[in-house]
């Protein structure tokens, strides 16, 4: 585990994105160009009369992907199916081309960070990671464990019992245990729970770095800003169905029936407002404390428009900020539909 | 060779898990009880094998200590991990499931034998060593009974804990109702009683039965307990291969 | 919408909104009402009402098991009468005074399964502070839970007595006369059942309260009850060949033995030397049962006073 595969350049995410049940977010995978690392084909899972996951298909290659959805959307069920702890009721789940259920040997290539917080409280952090390394049958468990602990930045605390750890440290030691055997696929269920903002950034950087070195990472979250900062690739699960997938800005751009909000600061807001109101693409303009709040139907068209309008009006643009490009608004939109 | 290392690692972690501080203290105290009673007997001048067997081994060790300890460790070996959710760390590994079951069962059985076996041996020697050859045979027979009982109870309730979260309460019910009350009313269920297997297996060395009648002869006892152990281990492996985690709070 | 209390016309000022739920002007029902609520809630919890079927199954099955012999006798009462008439001998029937002695282990098993339900989860999920910051105090909490368990056990203990009573009355030709005859025989079941419910309830709740895990509570109860049966018997037997000795007082440590002896006191039946070794009288066992109840309740209250919340 001490040596990682030579870093390959970050694959450029494909801008293509689509709304709907079936979608593909396969960025060109440098390691296995033919088969995606994770593939779901029309997967459904129900518990008695309750459908947790309903007819979901997607494929993922190298990179970080965020699995989004409100509580109860079926994120954990989906991750458990990928991790082989649940059989799909219908459809096919493939991880590296194999069905993970009832096949323990796939765990050589899968690292799983479960949602539940409990870790053996009596082990030290290093012992716990070593335990994982030994069960993976690694040749040098000690070395691999130390390297993994260092990766998540827990070296200072590694000789303390996990029972004394904070929530954030527990999350990190779980991640260390999951990547000690250098898996090709890393599945994380709510990995940012209980982390403070600084730890969050550290974990996000780690995930990004792991993706850069050719791994497929899927993590779930119900907090949108987490996803926004790590992965631009998202899967949105709503009530068990895949509501959207792809690059989240591209998804946003597809939502044409909903006005985009843009905030502009300029040298003369009032004059700019008058000039903008003449354009049919502009729905509303409001003068606020912090600048002009504008609603428009077409974001790309608006970007071209604003440059021309400000030049002819003789107004200098200080700042143009899309006000609701945050995932939160995208998400709210998808959930409400 | 690698399997052995993995087996050892699972056993090590399971033992540490089963050995919570207060819990262990309680069980050690419980195990010390037959020894204390034996010392009291010795000071009271009793070295009669039968009286010792009836008063201490049968009423305390065989009907209380052994089933309680073995069921607790058996049901707890997986049960505690399933309750906490830490079982995921164990199962998300490329290890054949029979090896996981074997390691868990080994840990539970080892703990049970360590406590009850030591207790039986020491209590027996304190009281029965002066009784000569017969006394030694009786002690050996008691140890055999405890070992057979430990394996059967622990493995049976380990398997049950993979099916229900209330395995321990069912175990206590089995011990109180089935072995305690029903077996005195319906002698026919002796063939389905781990306590009778223990007494039967021990009867190969010495007759430990309080009323002198061994309900399950030694060879049958070994056969039945062997079948029970193998069947339970196979079922546990089968169940663990199909182990499903709940969807979670998601 | 209610108006903000602050000044909202100026820029960047803070405002505190009165959302309307801060003030409670209604009547406050106080501690007793809080205890009553917890008592009702606990009763529902023990029997699994308002919970899924699986939670109802265990208490109902165990209560049913304890009543089963009496109910069977009730169901076959007509057959038994005919048989008795044919053979001319009085049938051997289950009677009020020995029913508890014969089947008490089933009531105890009920406690093992259900007492931890009442107290362990609150500790495991650390919700006790939520109770203690309300009108409810620590002692009130413990006593409410205890009252619910005691009432539950009282019901469980009396069902078979009722079944026996109905069966015995139906077996007689003249029902009204039979009620008059049977009632004095049956009535001591009520105080005896109440005492057993108090002792077993307080004891099992006290032991359960020491572990947040149901499993360990259950093990603790079984270990305690069985050892308190076995240890006195073993010690007493050491010198028993030379007649009763002073160690027979140790039998008072056993809750079940004490209750069996006390039951005989209520029914005014002498203790049979086969079942009760030693020189203790039934009044002695009655006293022992009361002491067990008092000590267990004090331990329970002590435990809740000390519990970190």
In a domain, B174, yes or no: yes
Binding-face residues of A in 127-166 toward B, CB within 8 A? 131-132, 134-137
Q: What is the pLDDT of residue C239?
A: 66
Q: Which residues of B touch A77 (CB under 8 A)?
A: 247-248, 250
Q: What is the nearest CA distance from A48 to chain B, expressed in angstroms?
A: 13
Among left, alpha and beta (phi > 0; psi -120 to 50; other), residue A12 is beta
DSSP letter string over C158-200?
HHHHHHHHHHHHHHSS-HHHHHHHHHHHHTTHHHHHHHHHHHH
Q: Which residues of B touch C235 (CB under 8 A)?
A: 37, 40
A244 vs C159 pLDDT, higher one: C159
Record the tokens describing residue B40, joined without a space.
Answer: 């009291």
Q: What is the pLDDT of residue A12?
A: 39
The answer to whether the Cβ–Cβ distance between C220 and B26 falls below 8 Å is yes
- Residue A99 CB neighbour total at 10 angstroms: 14
Nearest to B96 among A73, A104, A108 (CB): A104
Q: What is the pLDDT of residue C2?
A: 44
Nearest to A80 among B6, B89, B245 (CB): B245
- Per-residue confidence at A39, pLDDT binned at 50, 70, 90? very high
Record the tokens describing residue A88, joined without a space.
Answer: 């799909």
Strand partners, A64: A217
Find the helix or strand (DSSP H, E) in which B79 lies. helix B66-84
Chain A: partners with 3+ C-beta pairs within 8 Å: B
Backbone angles phi, psi at C71, to 5 degrees: -65, -40
Record the tokens describing residue A240, joined without a space.
Answer: 């068990």
Backbone angles phi, psi at A285, to 5 degrees: -135, 135
Cβ within 8 Å of residue A61, ≥6 positions away: A11, A26, A27, A28, A29, A32, A36, A37, A216
In a domain, B247, yes or no: no
Q: What is the pLDDT of residue A282?
A: 82
Q: What is the nearest CA distance from C97 to chain B, expressed in angstroms?
A: 19
Q: Does B169 contact chain C (CB < 8 Å)?
A: yes
Compute, in degrees rounded to 10, the torsion defined by CA atoms C130, C133, C138, C143: -70
CA C144/CA A298 separation, integer angstroms: 65
Q: Say which CATH topology domain A18-109+183-252 has.
A: Rossmann fold (3.40.50)
Beta sheet of A233-238, edge-to-edge order? A18-19, A241-247, A233-238, A63-68, A216-221, A185-189, A110-113
Nearest to A177 among B2, B89, B244 (CB): B89
Q: Say which CATH topology domain A255-336 has.
A: Alpha-Beta Plaits (3.30.70)
Cβ atoms C112, C222 nearer than 8 A: yes
- Residue A129 CB neighbour total at 10 angstroms: 30
Closest-approach residue (CA) in chain C for B26: C220
CA B127/CA B131 separation, integer angstroms: 8
Backbone angles phi, psi at A56, to 5 degrees: -105, 130
In a domain, B235, yes or no: yes
List, for residues C207-222, the tens digit of each pLDDT value: 999 988 888 888 889 8
Nearest to B93 among A52, A85, A135 (CB): A135
Record the tokens describing residue A275, joined without a space.
Answer: 């000039």
Helices (H), A21-140: 75-82, 125-135
Strand partners, A247: A233
Q: What is the pLDDT of residue A47?
A: 84
- Per-residue confidence at A225, pLDDT binned at 50, 70, 90? low
Cβ atoms B9, B107 nearer than 8 A: no
Q: What is the pLDDT of residue B143?
A: 95
CA B214/CA B202 separation, integer angstroms: 10
Record the tokens describing residue C109, joined without a space.
Answer: 């098993």
First to last CA, chain B: 40
The answer to whether the Cβ–Cβ distance between B89 and A72 falls below 8 Å is no
Q: Strand A185-189 vs strand A216-221: parallel, antiparallel, or unpaired?
A: parallel
The answer to whether the Cβ–Cβ distance between B176 and C222 falls below 8 Å is yes
Nearest to A279 by CA among A314, A316, A322, A309: A309
Give the length of chain A. 337
Interface predicted TM-score (ipTM) of this complex, two decimals: 0.88
The mean pLDDT value of chain A amounts to 81
C259 vs A302 pLDDT, higher one: C259
The answer to whether the Cβ–Cβ distance between A120 and B2 falls below 8 Å is no
- Residue A273 CB neighbour total at 10 angstroms: 20
DSSP secondary structure letter of residue B208: -
Cβ within 8 Å of residue C287, ≥6 positions away: C252
pLDDT at residue A25 above 50?
no
Q: What is the pLDDT of residue A326?
A: 63
Helix (H, G, I), strand (E, B) or coil at A292: strand
Q: Which residues of B touch C58 (CB under 8 A)?
A: 166, 169
pLDDT mean over A202-217: 88
pLDDT at residue A111 above 90?
yes
pLDDT at residue A185 above 70?
yes
What's the total number of domains in chain B? 1
The answer to whether the Cβ–Cβ distance between B172 and C109 falls below 8 Å is yes
Cβ atoms C105, C65 nearer than 8 A: no
Q: Which residues of B touch C218 (CB under 8 A)?
A: 168-169, 172
The answer to whether the Cβ–Cβ distance between C227 and B59 falls below 8 Å is no
Q: What is the pLDDT of residue A1?
A: 39
Q: What is the pLDDT of residue C272?
A: 81
B2 vs A134 pLDDT, higher one: A134
Q: Please, what is the angle between helix B2-18 and helix B66-84, to 10°?
A: 100
Residue range(s) occupied by CATH 3.30.70.100 in chain A:
255-336
CA A18/CA A252 separation, integer angstroms: 10
Cβ atoms C111, C196 nearer than 8 A: no
- Residue C76 CB neighbour total at 10 angstroms: 12
CA B110/CA B7 separation, integer angstroms: 14
Cβ atoms B117, B72 nearer than 8 A: no
Binding-face residues of A in 31-90 toward B, CB within 8 A? 47, 52, 71-77, 80, 83-87
Q: Which domain range does residue B226 map to?
A: 2-241
In a domain, B250, yes or no: no
Cβ within 8 Å of residue A187, ≥6 positions away: A79, A82, A83, A110, A111, A112, A113, A218, A219
Q: What is the pLDDT of residue A23?
A: 43
> Would you call B178 exposed, middle or buried from its count of C-beta atoms within 10 A (0-12, 13-18, 19+)?
middle
Least confidently predicted of A10-19, A272-281, A327-336, C85-94: A10-19
Q: What is the pLDDT of residue C90?
A: 66
Residues of chain B with pLDDT under 50: 247-250
pLDDT at residue A257 above 70?
no
Task: Determine the distance from the C-alpha atom of residue C173 to the mean position of all C-alpha atoms in its chain, rounded to a whole number.
Answer: 36
- Residue C193 CB neighbour total at 10 angstroms: 24
Q: What is the pLDDT of residue A325?
A: 61
The answer to whether the Cβ–Cβ distance between C223 and B23 falls below 8 Å is no
> Would you call C240 exposed, middle or buried from its count of C-beta atoms within 10 A (0-12, 13-18, 19+)?
middle
List, for residues B156-190, the tens digit of each pLDDT value: 999 999 998 888 888 988 998 888 877 777 777 88
pLDDT (tens, 9 = 90+) of chain C, 309 residues, equals 444 444 444 455 666 665 555 567 778 788 888 899 999 999 999 998 888 887 888 899 989 989 998 988 888 877 877 777 777 766 667 888 889 988 888 899 999 999 998 998 888 877 888 888 777 889 999 999 999 999 999 999 999 999 988 888 887 778 788 888 888 888 999 999 999 999 999 999 999 999 888 888 888 898 898 888 888 887 887 766 666 677 788 889 999 999 999 999 999 888 887 778 778 888 999 999 999 999 999 999 999 998 876
Q: What is the pLDDT of residue A322?
A: 72
CA dihedral over A92, A93, A98, A100, signed as positive or negative: negative
List, for residues A57-109, the tens digit of each pLDDT value: 999 988 889 898 877 788 889 999 999 999 999 999 999 989 998 889 999 99
Backbone angles phi, psi at A43, to 5 degrees: -85, 135
Least confidently predicted of A111-125, A200-214, B16-30, B81-95: B16-30
């Amino acid at each position: 585990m001490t040596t990682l595969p030579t870093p390959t350049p970050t694959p450029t995410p494909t801008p293509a994105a689509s709304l709907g049940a079936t979608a593909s977010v396969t960025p060109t995978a440098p390691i296995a160009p033919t088969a995606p690392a994770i593939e779901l084909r029309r997967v459904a899972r129900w518990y008695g009369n309750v459908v947790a996951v309903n007819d979901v298909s997607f494929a993922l290659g190298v990179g970080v992907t965020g699995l989004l959805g409100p509580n109860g959307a079926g994120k954990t069920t989906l991750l458990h199916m990928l991790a082989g702890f649940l059989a799909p009721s219908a459809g096919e789940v493939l991880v590296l081309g194999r069905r993970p259920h009832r096949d323990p040997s796939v765990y050589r290539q899968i690292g799983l960070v479960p949602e539940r917080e409990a870790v053996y409280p009596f082990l030290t952090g290093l012992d716990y990671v070593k335990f994982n390394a030994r069960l993976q049958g690694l040749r040098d468990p000690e070395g691999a464990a130390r390297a993994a602990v260092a990766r998540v930045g827990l070296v200072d605390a590694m000789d303390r019992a996990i029972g004394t750890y904070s929530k954030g440290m527990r999350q990190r030691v779980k991640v260390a245990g999951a990547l000690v055997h250098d898996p090709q696929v890393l599945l994380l269920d709510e990995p940012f729970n209980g982390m403070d903002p600084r730890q969050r950034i550290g974990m996000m950087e780690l995930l990004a770095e792991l993706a850069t070195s050719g791994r497929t990472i899927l993590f779930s979250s119900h907090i949108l800003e987490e996803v926004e900062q790590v992965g631009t690739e998202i899967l949105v699960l709503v009530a068990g169905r895949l509501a959207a997938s792809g690059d989240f800005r591209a998804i946003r751009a597809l939502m044409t029936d909903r006005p985009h909000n843009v905030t502009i600061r300029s040298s003369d807001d009032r004059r700019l407002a008058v000039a903008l109101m003449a354009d049919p693409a502009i729905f509303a303009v409001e003068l606020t404390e912090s600048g002009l709040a504008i609603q428009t139907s077409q974001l790309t068209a608006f970007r071209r428009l604003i440059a021309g309008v400000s030049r002819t009006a003789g107004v200098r643009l200080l700042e143009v900020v899309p006000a609701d490009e945050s995932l939160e608004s995208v998400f709210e939109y998808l959930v409400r539909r | 060779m690698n399997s052995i290392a993995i087996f050892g690692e699972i056993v090590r972690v399971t033992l540490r898990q089963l050995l919570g501080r207060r819990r262990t203290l309680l069980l050690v105290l419980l195990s010390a009880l037959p020894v204390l009673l034996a010392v009291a007997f010795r000071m009271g001048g009793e070295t009669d094998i039968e009286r010792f067997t009836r008063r201490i081994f049968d009423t305390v060790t065989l009907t209380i200590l052994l089933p309680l300890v073995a069921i607790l460790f058996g049901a707890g070996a997986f049960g505690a991990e399933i309750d906490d959710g830490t079982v995921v760390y164990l199962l998300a590994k490329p290890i054949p499931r029979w090896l996981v079951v074997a390691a868990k069962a080994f840990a539970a059985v080892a703990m049970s034998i360590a406590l009850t076996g030591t207790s039986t041996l020491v209590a027996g020697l304190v009281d029965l060593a002066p009784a000569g050859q017969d006394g030694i045979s009786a002690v050996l027979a008691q140890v055999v009974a405890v070992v057979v009982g430990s394996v059967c109870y622990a493995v049976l309730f380990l398997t049950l804990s993979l099916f229900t979260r209330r395995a321990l309460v069912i175990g206590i019910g089995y011990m109180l109702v089935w072995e305690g009350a029903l077996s005195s009313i319906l002698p026919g269920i002796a063939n389905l009683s781990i306590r009778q297997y223990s007494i039967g297996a021990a009867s190969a060395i010495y007759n430990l039965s309080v009323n002198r009648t061994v309900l399950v002869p030694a060879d049958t006892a070994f056969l039945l307990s062997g079948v029970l152990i193998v069947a339970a281990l196979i079922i546990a492996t089968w169940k663990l291969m199909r182990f499903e985690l709940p969807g979670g709070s998601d | 919408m209610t108006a903000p209390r602050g000044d909202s016309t100026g820029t960047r000022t803070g405002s505190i909104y009165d959302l309307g739920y801060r003030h409670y002007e209604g009547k406050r029902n106080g501690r007793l009402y809080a205890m009553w609520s917890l008592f009702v809630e606990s009763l529902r919890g023990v029997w699994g009402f308002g919970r899924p079927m699986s939670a109802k199954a265990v208490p109902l099955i165990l209560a049913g098991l304890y009543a089963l012999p009496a109910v069977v006798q009730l169901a076959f009462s007509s057959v038994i009468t005919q048989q008795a008439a044919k053979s001319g001998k009085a049938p051997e029937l289950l009677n009020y005074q020995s029913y508890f002695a014969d089947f008490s282990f089933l009531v105890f098993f009920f406690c093992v399964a259900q007492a931890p339900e009442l107290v362990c989860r609150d500790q495991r999920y650390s919700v006790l502070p939520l109770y203690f910051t309300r009108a409810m105090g620590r002692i009130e909490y413990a006593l409410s839970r205890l009252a619910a368990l005691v009432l539950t056990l009282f019901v469980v203990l009396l069902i078979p007595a009722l079944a026996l009573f109905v069966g015995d009355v139906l077996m007689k030709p003249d029902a009204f006369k039979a009620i008059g005859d049977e009632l004095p025989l049956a009535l001591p079941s009520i105080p005896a059942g109440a005492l057993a419910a108090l002792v077993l309830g307080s004891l099992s709740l006290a032991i359960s309260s020491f572990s947040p895990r149901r499993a360990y509570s259950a093990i603790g109860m079984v270990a305690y009850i069985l050892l308190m049966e076995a240890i006195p018997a073993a010690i007493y037997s050491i010198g028993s060949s030379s007649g009763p000795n002073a160690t027979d007082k140790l039998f008072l440590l056993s809750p079940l033995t004490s209750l069996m002896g006390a039951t005989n006191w209520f029914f005014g039946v002498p203790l049979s030397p086969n079942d009760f070794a030693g020189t203790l009288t039934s009044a002695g066992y009655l006293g022992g049962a009361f002491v067990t109840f008092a000590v267990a309740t004090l331990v329970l209250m002590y435990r809740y006073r000390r519990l970190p919340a």
